[in-house]
Structure 1
Amino acid sequence: MTIRTLPVCLAATLLLLALPAPAQESPEAKPASADAARDALAKKEGEGEQTALLKQTLSAVDKQYSLIRSQQFQFGYDLNYTYIGQEKIISDLSAGNITLFEIENTSSHTVTNTFSADYGVLDNLTANLTLPVLSKYSEARGAKGLSNSIGDIGLGVRWQPIPARRDRPNLTLTGNLRLPSGRSPYKVIAGSGQATGSGVAAFSLGLNVNRIVDPVALFGSLNVTASLPAKNLWQVNNTRILTRVAPGASIGFGLGFAYALSYGISTTLSFQEAISAGSKLTFADGKTAKTLMQTSGMLNLGLGYRVSPKTTVNLSVGVGLTADSPNLSLDLNLPLAF
C-alpha cells in the first residue's frame, strides 16, 4: 500500500513527522491541516489521470464530443470494417400459385479508411474535414464486384456555447455537410462495380451531451439529417428507368458510457439508432414509388489503450440489432494531436 492510499489523518501525521522541526515556533504559525497534507500527497505533474483518459475516449467514440484549443490542429485515422449478409426469398406467382421458390444469399464487405483533420477556430469552435477511402466487395447470385474509390467528403463544425465545467453536463452543437463525392448508387451500371457514396448531398444538425463523473463518463446525442434529391438520373431498373430520387429525412440518437479501468485502459458501451423515412422514386414513364421506412440500431463495445499522453488507440466492435443494420462492424481509431 502506498502512502497515497492511507487515510488523510494518518497521512498528515506521517507528513509532520517527516518535516524537520523548527528552531523556534512563531506565534503566527498555524498547525498543519488535513487539506495541507492532501495537497502535499496529491499526484505530481505528469502522472496519469482518469479524467484526461475519459476525455480522449469520448473523442474517439464520437469526435463531436471533443473540442481543441484555438489555432491548433489534430489529425486522426480511422479503420472500419463492416459486413452485411442477407437472405432473400425469390418466388414467382402463376395463376395464384407459387411456381418458383428459391433462397438467394447476398453479402457485402466494406473496408473504410477515414482521414480527418480538426482545426480550432476558437477555443469553443472547431472545424472538421473527413476524407474516406473505401474498398467494397459485394457478391450475389450470378454477380459480384469490387470497387476502390473515395467516399463522401464531410465538412463539419462543433460549437460549445457554454464553457465546460466539471460539476455540470457539457453541451456541444454540431453541423455537418456531406458532399456526394463517392460513386453514386444511382449511377452504377449492373456488373460494373459497387457504389462508394450516397449519391446526394446532405446536411445534419446535432446536439451532444456528456458529463464526467470519475471514473465514469456519460454521453448522449441527438441529430436530424435532410438530403437534397438526386436529379437528372438515367438508371435502368428492371423494365423501368429511374430519373429522380428524393431521400427522406432521418433522425438519430445514441447514448452510452465510458469507464476508466486504470490510467491507461478504458472501456465503452454505447447504443446508436437511426430512423429514416422512405425515399420517393420517379421513373421516366412518370410513375412514382416510395420505399419503406428503415431503422438501424447498433450496440458497440470498445476498449481504449493510452500509448502516450497525446495518443489513445481505441478498438470497438459493433453488432447490428435490426434487419436494416450491418451484421458486424469493427473499428480502429487513432487520434494524433500536434
Structure 2
Amino acid sequence: MKRQLRELTERYESQRVATEQLEVRIRRQEALLAAYTNGNAQLAQADAPARGRFFRTADGAAGDAGAAGASGNAESTSPGSGGDTLKAPPPSRSAQAVYQEQAGGVFGQPRRWTFETGLTYTHYDSRQLLLNGFLALDTIFLGNINVNRIQADMLTLDLTTRYAISDRAQVDFNAPFLYRRSNFQSGGAGGAAGALSEATVTQSPRLGDVNMGFYYKLLAETKDNPDVVWNVRLKAPTGSNPYGVKIVTDSGNNNLQYPSKLPSGNGVWTLSSGFSFIKTVDPAILFANVAYYHNFKRSFGDISSTEGTVTPGSVKLGDVFQWGVGTAFALNERSSLSLGFTQAISQRSSLQPDGQSAQTIVGSNANAATFNVGLTFASSDRTTIIGNLGIGLTPDAPNFTIGLKIPYTF
C-alpha cells in the first residue's frame, strides 16, 4: 500500500507539473494575441524568428527578429514563478542604429549622451562653354570662345553631441570644420580655345556655421501608423561669409576669373523645421522626411565682388524645401543596408545695396537631387559605424559625396 501511495503521489506531481506548463503556454499565447491585436508587433513576432527581419520594440526603436530568435524563446520562466513573466526580444544593434539615424536621435534611452564624429568628402566638377560672338553665313563663328572648368573639393569634420531629455525628446549641437580647395581653368585667351590657364584657391581648416536642434517624437509607431518625429534647427553664421569676396582676373588670361578666398559658411541665420516618418514593413524599414529652411535677411559692410569697390548692403538667400524617401534592410544582427533619394529645391537669392532696390541674382535658384547608399555596422552596444555614398543626379548637386560617421552613446 505504501508503494502504491508513493506511485500515486509521483503520478499526481507529474500531472501537476504538466498542468502548470500547459497553463504557462496558454497565458503566453493569450499575451501574444493581445499584443498583436493592440498593434505591438514586438511580442507578436517573438515566436517567428527570421534572420534579418525588423520588428518594433516598446521604446519605438527598430529591432531584428532574427537576432531575437537566435537566442531561443522570447519568454523565460523559473520553477515556482507561475510562468507569467514575458520578456521582449532584444532589439537588433543594426536596426537600432538605422532608426536613430533616420529619426535623428536616441529615442527610448532617456538621459543619455551621444558623441558623434563625422568626416565627409565632397567633390564638384563642372564644365562650361561660353561663346561671345555671332555666326557668319550660319556656319562660321566670329568672336571669343571661353571654356571654363571648376573642380572643387571639400573635407568636413563634424563634431556632434546629443542628449536625450526623455524617451520622446532630445537636443543636439553640431560644429563643422571645413577644408576647401578649388581649381579654376579657362581657355579662349585671344580667341584660342586651346590656350588654357588655371588658378587654385585653398582654404585652411576653419570653423563653419554651427547649428543646434531639438527633436520630439509626436507619435509612436502602431500597426497602421508610422513614427512621426518633429524637429527644429537653428544655424548661426559663425563661419566666414562669401560677401565682399573680390573676384580676381588672371593677368595672363582675362577670361580666367576666380575668388580671392573661399568662405566656410553662408553668412546668414537659418531656421528650419521638418518631420520624419519611419515605418516598419517586415522585412524592411521605410522612412521619409520633409523640411523647410528659412534664411534671414542680413546686412554686411561690403557685398561687392569688384576689386577696389566697397558697397554696403543686405543679402537675402532663397529659402529651401527639402524632401527625401528611402528604405533600409537588415543584413544581419550587426549590419544593415539603406537606399534613399533626397532633393533640395532653393529659391532665388537677392542683393540690396544701401539706398537701392533689391536685385535678384540670376541663376541663384537650384535643384539638387542625390541618390544615397548607406551601410550601418553596429560594432558594439555603444558604438556604430555609418558609411554613406551620395551620387549627384542634377548639375546643382555634388558629383559625389563620401561620408563616415561614428556615434558613441554613453
Look up the match of 1:11.
Answer: none
* TM-score using structure 1 length: 0.83
CA distance 1:166–1:304, shift in 2 (3 Å): farther
Does the aligned pair in 2 maintain the 1:57–1:314 contact within 8 Å? no
Does the CA-based 8 Å contact 2:246-2:306 persist in structure 1? no
Q: Residue 52 of structure 2 aligns with which residue?
A: none
1:127 counterpart letter in structure 2 = V
The amino acid across from 2:276 in the alignment is N
SS of the counterpart of 1:57? helix
Secondary structure in 1 aligned to 2:318? coil
Which is richer in strand? 1
**8 Å contact 2:121–2:403 — kept in the other structure?**
yes
Cα distance between partner residues in 1 of 2:264 and 2:341: 25
Distance 1:24 1:315, change over 3 A: closer
Is the Cα contact below 8 Å between 1:48 and 1:263 reproduced in 2? no
Task: State percent identity of aligned pairs.
Answer: 21
Which residues of structure 1 form unaligned runs of 5+? Answer: 1-20
Aligned to 2:272: 204
Is 1:93 matched up with 2:83? no
SS of the residue corresponding to residue 231 of structure 1 reads: strand
More off after superposition, 140-149 vs 173-182: 140-149
* Partner AA of 1:149 in structure 2: R
* Equivalent in the alignment of 1:7: none
Cα separation, partners in 2 of 1:75 and 1:98, compared to 1, 3 Å: farther
**Which of 132, 143, 150 in structure 1 is aligned with 2:207?**
150
Residue identity matched to 1:212: T
Partner of 1:77: 117
Gap change, CA 1:188 and 1:67, over 3 Å in 2:
farther
1:175 to 1:79, Cα distance in 2 relative to 1, 3 A? same
Runs of at least 5 residues in structure 2 that lack an aligned partner in the other structure: 1-10, 30-45, 48-68, 77-86, 186-197, 248-258
Question: Matched residues in 1 for 2:104 and 2:14: separation?
Answer: 59
User: Which residue in the other structure is 1:15 paired with?
Assistant: none
Amino acid at match of 2:150: T
**Counterpart-to-counterpart distance in 2, 1:154 and 1:255:** 24
Q: Which residue of 2 aligns with 1:219?
A: 287
Q: 2:395 aligns with which of 323, 328, 331?
A: 323
| RMSD after superposition | 3.1
Aligned positions, number: 317
Q: What residue identity is the alignment partner of 2:272? A: S
Q: 2:159 aligns with which of 89, 111, 115?
A: 115
Contact 2:170 2:214 in 1 (8 A): yes
The 5 A counterparts of 1:124-135 are 124-135=168-179
How far the C-alpha of 1:241 sits from its partner, in A, is 5.8
Give the direction of change, closer, same or farther, for the CA distance of 1:278–1:98 in structure 2 (3 Å limit).
farther
CA distance in 2 between counterparts of 1:290 and 1:281 reads: 7
In structure 1, what is the Cα distance between the partners aligned to 2:262 and 2:171? 31
